[in-house]
Chains A and B, each alone.
Chain A
Amino acid sequence: MAKSSKASKVRKARKAPAASAKPSAASDPAIAATPTLVSSQAQGKADSGQPEKLEPVLDWMNKTRQWGMRVKPGKAGLRLGDLNVGIYGEIPMQWSDQSRNPRGAVPRKGMPPVGYSVREKVGMWADSAADLYEEAIQRRWAPATDVPWNTIDKLPDDIERAICQVCTELSQFANVEIETIAGWQHQMVYGYHEVKQYLATASFDAAKHYECFRKRALVNGGGLGVEGPGQVNRMILESSGGWSATVAYLVLVRAVFTMTILKYLARHAYNDAERFIYEHVLQDKARLLTYGLDHLHFAVAHDDEQPAVLATVLAIGDRVLTRDLRDPALREALAIIFGRGIRGARRQGMETYEEMMADFMQTHLGYCRWLGIARAPAEAMPPPLNRHAGASVAA
Chain B
Amino acid sequence: MAKFPSVRWFDAVREVFNGDESVQGGGGGYCNCVAGMKVGKDIFVLTFEGVECTDAVKADDAALDDVDFYLDMPPADWREMIANIHTNNGADRHHTLNTLDLEREDGLATSHHGDQYREDLFFRYNQTFQYFFNASARIRTDF
Instruction: Kindly report which residue of chain A lies nearest to residue B90, judged by CB atoms.
Output: A272
Q: Is residue B99 contacting chain A, with contact meaning CB distance below 8 A? A: yes
Q: Which of B10-18, B24-32, B39-47 contacts A (4 or more CB under 8 A)?
A: B24-32
Q: Which of B71-79, B121-129, B132-140 contacts A (4 or more CB under 8 A)?
A: B121-129
Contact flag A259-B50 (CB < 8 Å), given A139-B27, A139-B30:
no
Q: Which of A4-12, A236-244, A283-291, A299-307 contacts B (4 or more CB under 8 A)?
A: A283-291
Instruction: Kindly report which residue of chain B lies nearest to residue A128, judged by CB atoms.
Output: B117
B142 CB contacts on chain A under 8 angstroms? none
Contact flag A146-B26 (CB < 8 Å), given A75-B49, A282-B126:
yes
User: How far is the CB of B85 from the nearest CB of chain A, in Å?
Assistant: 15
Bound complex: CA of A290 vs CA of B68, how far in Å? Answer: 14
Contact flag A286-B126 (CB < 8 Å), given A263-B102, A370-B114, A370-B116:
yes
Q: Mark B91-130, 1 if CB is under 8 A from A, else 0.
A: 0010010110111010000000010110010011111001
Q: Is residue A269 contacting chain B, with contact meaning CB distance below 8 A? A: yes
**Number of interface residues, chain B, beta carbon within 8 A:** 27
Bound complex: CA of A282 vs CA of B49, how far in Å? Answer: 21
Known: A139-B30, A146-B27, A266-B96. 19 other contacts (CB 8 A): A76-B32, A134-B30, A138-B30, A140-B27, A146-B25, A266-B93, A267-B96, A267-B99, A268-B93, A275-B93, A279-B27, A279-B126, A280-B27, A282-B98, A283-B123, A286-B120, A290-B124, A297-B117, A366-B116
Instruction: Kindly report which residue of chain B lies nearest to residue A259, judged by CB atoms.
Output: B123
User: How far is the CB of B90 from the nearest CB of chain A, in Å?
Assistant: 9
Bound complex: CA of A225 vs CA of B71, how far in Å? Answer: 39
Asked if B102 and A141 make an inter-chain contact with CB atoms under 8 angstroms apart, the answer reads no
Asked if B124 and A135 make an inter-chain contact with CB atoms under 8 angstroms apart, the answer reads yes
B117 CB contacts on chain A under 8 angstroms? 128, 290, 293-294, 297
B105 CB contacts on chain A under 8 angstroms? 395
Q: Is the interface of A mostly helix, strand, loop or mixed?
A: helix
Partner of A279, one of B50, B114, B120, B127: B127
Bound complex: CA of A75 vs CA of B32, how far in Å? Answer: 12
Name A's B-contacting residues (CB within 8 A): 75-76, 128, 134-135, 138-142, 146, 259, 263-264, 266-269, 275, 279-280, 282-283, 286-287, 289-290, 293-294, 297, 359, 366-367, 370, 395
A282 CB contacts on chain B under 8 angstroms? 98, 123, 126
B32 CB contacts on chain A under 8 angstroms? 76
Asked if A293 and B116 make an inter-chain contact with CB atoms under 8 angstroms apart, the answer reads yes
Bound complex: CA of A269 vs CA of B98, how far in Å? Answer: 12
Asked if B114 and A286 make an inter-chain contact with CB atoms under 8 angstroms apart, the answer reads no
Contact flag A367-B127 (CB < 8 Å), given A146-B27, A279-B98:
no
A-B contact list, 25 entries, CB within 8 Å: A75-B50, A128-B117, A138-B30, A139-B28, A141-B25, A141-B26, A146-B26, A259-B123, A263-B102, A266-B96, A267-B93, A267-B102, A267-B103, A268-B93, A269-B93, A279-B126, A279-B127, A280-B27, A283-B123, A283-B125, A287-B124, A289-B120, A290-B117, A290-B120, A395-B105
A268 CB contacts on chain B under 8 angstroms? 93
A76 CB contacts on chain B under 8 angstroms? 30, 32, 50
Interface centre among A76, A128, A139, A283 (most CB of B within 10 A): A139
B30 CB contacts on chain A under 8 angstroms? 76, 134-135, 138-139
